[in-house]
Structure formats: structure tokens, C-alpha cells
Structure 1
Amino acid sequence: MKYISTRAASGASAERKSFCEILLEGLAPDGGLYLPESYPRVDDAMLAKWRDVYNKQGYAALAFEVLSLYIDDIPAVDLKAICAKTYTEAVFGTREIVPLKKLQDGLLLEALSNGPTLAFKDMAMQLLGNLFEYELARRGEELNILGATSGDTGSAAEYAMRGKKGVRVFMTSPYGRMSPFQQAQMFSLMDENIHNIAVDGVFDDCQDMVKAVSNDLDFKRKYKIGTVNSINWARLMAQVVYYFAGYFQATQANTEKVSFTVPSGNFGNVCAGHVARMMGLPIDRLVVATNENDVLDEFFRTGVYRVRGSADTHETSSPSMDISKASNFERFVFDLLGRDGARVKALFGDALGKEGRFDLSADPAFMQAATRYGFVSGKSTHTDRLGTIKNTFEKFGVMIDTHTADAVKVAREYLKPGMTMIVLETALPIKFAATIVEALGREPDRPAKFLGIEDLPKRVTRMAADADAIKAYIAQHCA
């Protein structure tokens, strides 16, 4: 299995890399994102085998089966051990790891928030931490991870990397824009290898800083900069597994199809569904649910991808989706345009940089987003999510967080008879307690280990949205 950049020239001249090379690299040198040269196909016999593996051996065994198709430069015995170490009942609380919960006929919730930081990001980040530690030890090297978070990626990364040998984490986040619980999860960590930087701006400013550093190849090489954001293929690859696990729980036979609704800001979570569908998982529709920052909904409705500036990015009650530049969207557009790297480079490298938008509405390929790839979308507002949280709790006795509420609201718009819809849960409600109180008039339940977390001492550095400033900070702390 070899990997290429979304901006690579097609044909024999495209640079092909192994999994462990791109694991530690993040962005490609040309500014693109890595994808497999081709998606491995899962036929009916393999799907039946995987169903049996999941039912009898559990999630870790299924993860090994899926990841083995993408990783051929880690010995199978080692990869199996990494999966077994990552996906345990002790870490995720249940044998299924991602159990399904019925909300109503035809509408199921897939629980992805049973990990250490109570958010779906743990599903991939716990694996990534173990992969990093394994590969760095094998090479005798160190890695400085630079990331950006709108809320959940940061804590998931830091909890996965804290205390790991050979790894430092430099995590940027928008100052004052995360919930108090999210801030406390990150800023209360005192591990020496964890550095939190609160940036004056929005998430997109943080993401731009990460990309600017990643595109400075000399700095990147000198300080061995890697990434845990969803631009890292390993994270997205790990997320593919729970689409298969959800499907096996929701169906009895491989002749059945299901749809998935995914709350989406940076497009990584739903892009994993796209990959699963390309592999052959019987997915009917992939429903993209956005909040008031509806860049992705606008694209799937109109064909126009139009990023917003800092002043036009709304601060909402589902803050992890307050994103107007969806990094992983480039991976899907690469497939949508027939894997034309030169054209993708022109769109994402040139048009977005100069004009902040591109328009595919007149391109015949745009129609394939829905017809060939199954994508549809919808939008949810603060009023919508309050109503959905209230309705879901009163009718079904299930408390959901704000992002999951956005997905449930949009999922209901696409329900159809005979087709099961699975909503991917994002986080536990406690992470967004203020909105839960507004909707329900009561505090959400809080796991015992997080009692009083907001009152713990905090260690965080405030910084302007300046790539040179973060470079200086990294250099200072790697001296």
C-alpha cells in the first residue's frame, strides 16, 4: 500500500510513500493531504468474515482486519498488539466499544464518546498515540506534534500523548471559544511534554498557523514537526473502523444498506465514511450536518465552496463545528474530480488563497457528490439544537450533546422507510453543560473522574495568530 498527495501530478511521476512515512509527516511537502493510491476493496466474503470477527472477537480484532489493508510496513503481530492495547473495555467502557442505541424506528445512535476525554476523537487518537510511540521507538527518534483544536481534538490528543516517550505536543486553540469543560480538560494537564497555546482568533486561524509551519519544510525537518489533526491520514483511517462496527450491529446480512449522519466541521469524521463506502461498505447516504457555519452544507446544495473570514465565523453552542475551512474536504474533492491532483492544487492552493472560494456548480462531477458518492447535507441552528435536545430527552430518555443534536435534527430530514439511519454521536453532554441546562433545566451527568475539573490549576500560553510566534515558541521549548 502506497500513499500519494491530493496535489500530486498524476502518473508515474507521483511520489509514493509508505504508511509509516506519512504517519510522522502530516501534510505532504506540496501542501496536499495523503490518501491511499487506491482504496482496498472489501467483497461480500470479506465483509462476512469481518462481521464474524467483530461479533466473536470484538472491536480490536476488527480494527486489525481493517488497518491491515492500509498498513504493510508494521509486522502483523505488532499491529495486532497495538490494536489490542488501544481498544479495550477498560479504556472505552464497553465490549462493543461503539455500542448502538435506538432512538426511534429507523434511527440509531452510535456511541463514540466512551473514551478518556468523552469525545469521538478518542477513537482515533488513542490508536495514533500508540502508533507514534511504536514507530518513534523503532527509529530512535523524537516528534514534535503541532495541532489545532476547536475543542475535542486537543484534549483527545493530549490525553493520548501525555507521558509518551519521544513525543511533545504543542496544541493551539481559539482563545475563549471552547466550553469551560473543554478548556479545563486541556489546560489542567501539567505533563512536561504537553504545551497549550490559546490563540487570539478563531479555529481557522489556529489551523492556518499549523499549515504555515507544516509548509515551512526547513523548519519542519529541523524540529521534526508532525500532526495529530485529521489532516493526518492515520487518524482518518482509524475512524473507518467504527463505520464497519456500526453497520454490523445495525444489520443481519450484507444485503442490507444503512445511512450515516455525521456532525461535521472539518470533514474528517464523514470523510472516513466516504472511505468506508469506497471500500465497499453498503452505505446508502452520507448526511453532512452543519451548524450555523454552513460552508459544507452550502457546497453540497450549490456546488460553491466559500470559506468565511474570522469575522464571519459564528460562535455557536456546538463550538467544535465552528469551522469554515474544512481541511479534509480536499480529500473528497480529489476523488470527486477523478483524482486530478493538478486541478485540486489549483482549487485549494490557488483559488481559495486568492478568492476564498471555488465554484463547481457547472462541473458535471458535482452531481456525482450525491448520485455516485451518496452525499447530502443539512443545517441546524441554536434553536434547533435546543429543541432536539429537549425532544430527544423527553421522548426517549436519552441526553445528547449539542453537536449530536445537530446531527439528529438533520438526520430526521432524510429518514426513509426501510433504511436504517445511524447518527454518529460526538461527545458526552457534560462537555457543553450550559446549553444542556438551557434546553433541559438541569445539569448533565458528570463522570466522577471529572468532578471539579474547572477548578484545577491551569497551564496555558496566550499568543497572537502568528506563525512566526508559534515557531519561536517551539524552538524555545525544544532547545
Structure 2
Amino acid sequence: MKYVSTRGTADLGRFSDVLLSGLAPDGGLAMPESIPTFTSTELETLRGLAYPDLAFRVMRPFIDDIPEADLKRLLHATYAPEVFHSKDITPLTPLGDSELFILELSNGPSLAFKDVAMQFLGHIFEYVLEARGEQLNILGATSGDTGSAAEYAMLGKARVNVFMLSPHGRMSAFQQAQMFSLAEPNIFNIALEGVFDDCQDLVKAVNADADFKARHDIGAVNSINWARVLAQAVYYFKAYFALNLAPGAQADFSVPSGNFGNVFAGYLAKSMGLPIGQLLVATNENDVLNEFFSTGVYHVRPAQRVAATSSPSMDIGKASNFERYLYLITGSDAPQTHGWWQDVGEGRPVDLRGSAHWDAVKASGLTSGRSTHADRLDTIRRVDRQYGRLIDPHTADGVLIGERHQRPGVPMVCLETALPAKFEETVQEAVGRVPKRPERFEGIEGLEKHFDVLPNDVDRLKAYVVEKLAGKG
């Protein structure tokens, strides 16, 4: 399988190449040259497979440059019950008899859904770097959960350093403590004076400097990394088969959405032939994506207009992976996608109203909804009272939008984002008690914190990376 950029036709190489490269040289995102599909008969052969074996079947067409036996070994090492505290890895649990289901994605090391993909990245990075005799310096941005998931996945990886940017003062106390309490020689936490979009823009700016990127072996773990999206697609298959539906019957999915990576993974699974009906893009007050799917206009919001909310991991005004979706909507028209993103970069909206592209959006099965602080408090409270299930505020956004769009006789799978312990202040506000946390995280907020505050300046960030790498000798 070869890979191309969403903004050009240049050959980006094969899976291992795009794994290490992050952004394409033209600023676009890596996409496979084509998307293989399963026939209905082939889908049935996936039913009942253990998670690592299902992951192999879903991911193998996209990863054909790694020997089959090695890829299987890496997937079995990644998706182990002792890592995810469940033999199912991503269990599916019903909310009573409501036909609503919670896909549990937060049983991994950092208690967030991003562990599912990030643990795979840790293993596959180590394998590819060892085979090539190379080092990688990961530069990432997090609105809360990517950072801790990446850092936990890369602990002890001798060939990998992690430089993780987060918006200063914009994460929960638990999220900050998870990241900043790590005193590891290959982990560097940067609290940026800005919002998540500023962090994301700096990562892209550094990646766009081809000379700096090459000299300092810069890579990415954000959902701009294709391997992240691919690994996340697997749990849509796992959830669908766990529903035990008749062959070909549809299931709907509601996905809390900020940077569009998680829901795009669902769109990838649907494009591969999984019978997904609706894919719901559940947003908070930062509803750029909801605005697009409601009106056909995608208008990026500047940092000063990104609200700080009680579902902070979704406080994003510019969704990176949305570019991949628009690329597929155009029929893989890279020049069109590039033109749209030039407009976005210059502050102009992408306006699809009345176009064939808007017809393609409406036919794609994606729709959306918006939740507020009051909504998520009410949803957390209701789900706790009615079903005895405590959920975090992001998952509450997904449950609420799932309820609003539920179709009779069609199961609605709501993707869990994190354990409620990561957002205990909001959960306590909703239900009047502090959620339980795993014993290993007791008292984490009181641990010494290791981070540096930097201004929103790309040159200062580059100098920081150079300085820290030089200090490692």
C-alpha cells in the first residue's frame, strides 16, 4: 500500500515511512492510495475474533511493509488484557434496555480512549526505529488526553523522545498531573501560553520546516499520524460485532469530537464496508464541526474565540483530521483539498452549500449535535440515576447527542472518552460525589511537576527542542 498527501499526488512511501514522518512535505496529511473494502461475506469471517486478531485483519491491508508474523506479535503485545484490564480490550456495555451502549475505551494506562491507538504506536515505533537504526523526536499537541497517552506509551523507549505541548492552565488537574508528574529522561512537557489550536499550529509549523524536521528527526503522535487513525478504526469493528446483529444490519455511533480523529476512524471503518448508519459528531460549545454539518460552512475559530468548557479535550477551533474527511468527500481530489486549506489558512471559510460536495457530505452518514455545560451535567446525573453508570463530561456529550438521534430498532453505540476520575470536579458538580479512581493514581495531583512554560512562538519552541536534545548528549 502506497500513501499520498491530501494536498498533492507525491508518493509518501509505505506505512513505515508515513508512521515516522508526521505531516507530508506539502503540509497535508498522509492517506492510503486506496481504501480496501470487506465484502459482506468477508465481514462475517471477522465476527468473534479476539481483539489482536481482528486488529490484524483490519490493519494488514494498510501495513504490508512489515512481515506478517512481526505485525501479529506487535498487536498481541499491544492488546493484552493486563494492559487494558479486560480480555475484550474495549468492552461494550448496554445502558439498561435503552438500546444505548457504551463502548469502553478508557481501561488503558492513562484512562483515556487514546491509549487504544497510542499503545500500538509505542510498539510499532520501537520496532521500525530499531529495524532502521534511527531515533525519533516526537513533537505533539494535546488538549488533555493525547499527551498522557503518548507519554505512557513511550516510557522507556530508548529511541524515542517526546516533546508534548499543552495549553497552559486549560486541562483538568488530573490531566496535568498525569503528564507533569512524569520525571523521565525522554519526556519533555511544554505548557504553552495559548489554547490547544496554538499548540497544534506550532506542531504544524515545525513540521513544515523540512530542514529542521530532517535535522532533528521530528515525528508526530497526534491524530495527524495515520497509524493513530488506523488503530482506532478497529474498535468500531469490535463494537459492531459485539452487538450480535444480523449480517448487514446497521448500527449507529455517537462520537465526542474535537480534532475529528476519532470520528474519522469511524468513517474509515464505514468506508471499508462496516454497516455503520449514522456517525454522530458530538461537540461541546466549541461547535465548529456542528456548524459545518448543520450548514455546510466550515469556519475556523481563532484562539480568542475558543471557549474553556467542562469537556476541555474538545476545546478546539480547528479540527486537523477534518481535512482527511473532505479529501475523501471529493473523491481524493488533492488540488481541491489543498485549495480549501489555503482558504482556511487565510481566514476564509470552506463553503459547500449547494455543491455536489455538500450532497456527498449528506450522503456520508455524518451528522452532528451540540452540548452545553448544563446539558452534560444533566446527562451525567441522568445516566448515573437511571443506569447506575458514571460517565465523564465528554462521554456525556456523546450520550446526549446519541439520544437525540436514536432510531427505533437501531442500536446506538456511544464512545467513551475517559474515566470520570479524570474530570472529577465536573462529575462531582453533577452527582455530588467524587468518582473513584484506580489506586495507582491516588494522590497524583500532589506529586512534583516537571514542565516548562513557553510563549506561543515557533522559534522559541525550536530552540527549546535543540537545547533539550543537546543536553541529552
TM-score, normalising length from structure 2? 0.98
* Deviation digits for residues 334-364 of structure 1 (CA, Å, limit 9, x no counterpart): 011121111111111x101112422111212
The alpha carbon displacement at 1:45 in A equals 2.1
1:390-428 CA-partner distances (Å, limit 9, x unpaired): 000000000000000000011111111111110000000
Among candidates 200, 203, 207, match of residue 207 of structure 1: 200
Contact 2:84 2:108 in 1 (8 A): yes
Counterpart of 2:137 (choices 128, 144, 153) is: 144
Residue 203 of structure 1, CA deviation: 0.1
Q: Which residue in the other structure is 2:424 paired with?
A: 433
1:464 corresponds to? 455
Deviation string for 1:304-334 (max 9, x for gaps)?
1011111110000000000011000000000
Partners of 2:423 and 2:362 in 1: how far apart?
Answer: 33
How many Å separate the matches in 2 of 1:335 and 1:465?
33
Could you tell me how far apart the structure 2 residues matched to 1:101 and 1:301 are? 30
Superposition RMSD in Å? 0.8
Identity score, percent: 54
Inter-partner Cα distance in structure 2 for 1:129 and 1:454: 25
CA contact (8 A) 2:424 2:434 kept: yes
Match of 1:37 among 33, 43, 48: 33
Whole-Å separation in 2 of the counterparts to 1:417 and 1:407: 18
What do residues 234-268 of structure 1 show as CA deviations (whole Å, max 9, x unaligned)? 00000010000000001233221101000000000
3-state SS of 2:156 partner = coil
Partner of 1:164: 157
In structure 2, the residue matched to 1:77 is 69
CA distances 1:148-182 after superposition (whole Å, capped 9, x unpaired): 00000000000000110210000000000000000
2:229 corresponds to 1:233: no
Distance across 1 between alignment mates of 2:248 and 2:324: 28
Letter in 2 for 1:28: A
2:3 matches 1:3: yes
1:376 to partner: Cα distance? 0.6
Q: Residues of 2 paired with 1:252 and 1:416: CA distance?
A: 15
8 A Cα contact 2:12 2:24, kept in partner = no
Partner Cα distance (2:245, 2:330) in 1? 35
Give 2:431's aligned amino acid.
L
Deviations 1:248-289 (A, max 9, x none): 001233221101000000000000000000000000110000
CA distance in structure 1 between the partners assigned to 2:328 and 2:59 by the alignment: 21
Residues 211-241 of structure 1 deviation map (CA, whole Å, 9 limit, x = unaligned): 0000000000000000000000000000010
Q: d(CA) in 1 for partners of 2:212 and 2:147?
A: 22
1:219 to 212, 232, 237: 212
Q: Secondary structure at the match of 1:95?
A: coil
Q: Distance in 2 between matches of 1:40 and 1:217?
A: 31
Give the distance between the partners of 2:12 and 2:129, measured in 1 at CA. Answer: 21
Distance 1:477 1:2 in 2: 35
In structure 1, the gaps of 5 or more residues are none
What is the alpha-carbon distance in structure 2 between the residues aligned to residue 67 and residue 353 of structure 1?
33
Out of 109, 115, 121, the residue aligned to residue 116 of structure 1 is 109
- Report the equivalent of 2:316: 323
Q: Distance in 2 between matches of 1:362 and 1:34?
A: 29
> Deviation of residue 16 (structure 1)?
4.5
What is the CA–CA distance in structure 2 between the aligned matches of 1:356 and 1:242, rounded to whole Å? 35
Distance in 2 (alpha carbons) for counterparts of 1:293 and 1:252: 35
Indicate the residue corresponding to 1:277 in structure 2. 270
> In structure 1, what is the equivalent of residue 91 of structure 2?
99
Query: Match for residue 51 of structure 2?
Result: 59
Distance in 2, Cα, partners of 1:67 & 1:15:
20
2:464 paired residue number? 473
Q: 1:336 aligns with which of 310, 329, 341?
A: 329
Alignment counterpart, residue 256 of structure 2, candidates 240, 253, 263: 263
Q: Tell whether 2:147 aligns with 1:154.
A: yes
Alpha-carbon distance between aligned partners in 1 of 2:89 and 2:348, rounded to the nearest angstrom: 40
Are 2:370 and 1:374 aligned?
Answer: no
